[in-house]
Homo-oligomer: A and B are copies of this chain.
Amino acid sequence: MTTTQSNVRVNSVDITKHASTDDALCLENQVCFSLYSAANAMVRAYRPLLDKLDLTYPQYLVMLVLWEEQGINVKTLGDKLFLDSGTLTPLLKRLEAKGLVTRGRSEQDERVRVLALTPAGFTLKTLASEVPHLMRCKVGGEASELKALKAICDQTLKQLQASADAPTASDI
């Protein structure tokens, strides 16, 4: 079932179960708005926790990656976080200015920035260790619900990336 061409089936569903224009343009019916608002609220909720680490949420994400694996470059980091160099370069400079990260150069390829933690950056992991639990309390809900949320978000991201590469008829 789920292996058939999804878009075609979706189209047919939208045609058979056709909602009026007013219904479709109604804010209350918009999944994307719920996703957008929940994501904003999530970043907002992280703020007081991350203020104690002097990190923003995107900076925290970069630190999560570097606590797992050092010596990676900006491209790899961007692939993991789904962010590009226009976002990461200034962010990494800020982390460097705070003394948490070093931005070296690869010897094999002079273009490549090699990212690593300073001792202070590594130490910050201890302070960060309580953040997930505190955030978990704020979010609430059943573990199974959150697992389902993660699964649908991951699936949606994947699908959106796929439809970004193979665009609409107007491009042909």
Contacts and interface: CB of A to CB of B under 8 A. Distances in A.
A31 interface: yes
Interface string A147-160: 11110111111011
A28 to B, nearest CB: 9
Contacts of A128: 25
A136 B14 contact: yes
Contact of A129 (B21, B135, B148, B156): B21
A148 B149 CA distance: 8
A121 B38 CA distance: 28
Nearest to A36: B39
Contacts of A168: 134
A150 B38 CA distance: 10
A35 interface: yes
A168 to B, nearest CB: 7
A68 interface: yes
Interface in A137-172: 137-141, 143, 145-150, 152-157, 159-161, 163-164, 167-168
A36 B25 contact: no
Contacts of A159: 138-141
A14 B133 contact: yes
Among A10, A135, A153, max chain B CB count under 10 A is at A153
The 3 A-B pairs at the shortest CB distance, nearest first, are namely A39-B39, A24-B132, A34-B153
